[in-house]
Structure 1
Amino acid sequence: MFKPTPNPPEAETDHQTPPDSASPYENPHTKKFHEAAERALDYYLNTEGIKASSRSPSTMFIINPDFDAETLLVHACESLASANVMAGDLAGTLEGPSRNALLGIAQIIMLGELAVNRALDRLDPPA
């Protein structure tokens, strides 16, 4: 089969591509492009400015940083137990797929409560 153009096509003399071993900074246009790309990457990906900012957390819902791990786990266990009871009570008023979905959520809450209880047992084993 005859092709009207050579394979691969010959490059025009104006727009010849530089050889692979040439530096991208030899051409002033590519140097400017690379500098602009570096500035854009530094602007969007540079995390030094983020780390340097002094961001203080909101004090509306703050947990006392002096609490020990056991106290935090006890409160988490009580919160999960309360959520499990509320989900179970609400599931009793529903029927069909909504009830099944809420019972599944209650089971996930119960599994979280079991995990917290196990962590508490490891901190202070029962006598």
Structure 2
Amino acid sequence: MSNSSSSNIFTVNPDQNTEALLVNASETLSSLNAMTCNLAFNLDTSQRAIMLGIQQMAELGQLLVDRALEQVSPAPEG
């Protein structure tokens, strides 16, 4: 088994447009945020703090992606 075949298990369509990529990244980060929040409250105090730190990083990523999405595809003014 070659190394290159194992490194390409997951791929992103190179022809996908930026807006679609950002929308999918936003949805993925939103799911990660929800999962880490739910899991955090089933952990003890020290593990909860680590999980909430991960959740905050996911939320920061969400904000960055959403801002980029707004720049790529601004909401119509109305």
TM-score when scaled to structure 2?
0.84
Specify every segment of 5 or more residues in structure 1 that has no aligned partner in the other structure, as ranges: 1-54
Q: Over the residues paired in the alignment, what is the CA RMSD in angstroms?
A: 1.9
Q: Structure 1 residue 95: deviation in Å?
A: 2.1
- Per the alignment, residue 26 of structure 2 pairs with 77
| Structure 2 counterpart SS, 1:100 | helix
1:86 aligns with 2:35: yes
Q: Structure 1 residue 99: deviation in Å?
A: 0.4
1:116 aligns with 2:62: no
After the TM superposition, list the runs of 4 or more consecutive aligned residues in structure 1 that deviate by more than 2 angstroms.
55-60
Q: What is the distance in 2 between the residues matched to 1:92 and 1:115? A: 26
Q: What is the distance in 2 between the residues matched to 1:109 and 1:61? A: 20
Corresponding letter in the other structure for 1:101: I
- Larger Rg, first or second structure (1 or 2): 1
For CA contacts below 8 A with separation 6 or more, give which structure has more relative contact order.
2
Q: What is the distance in 1 between the residues matched to 2:37 and 2:60? A: 14
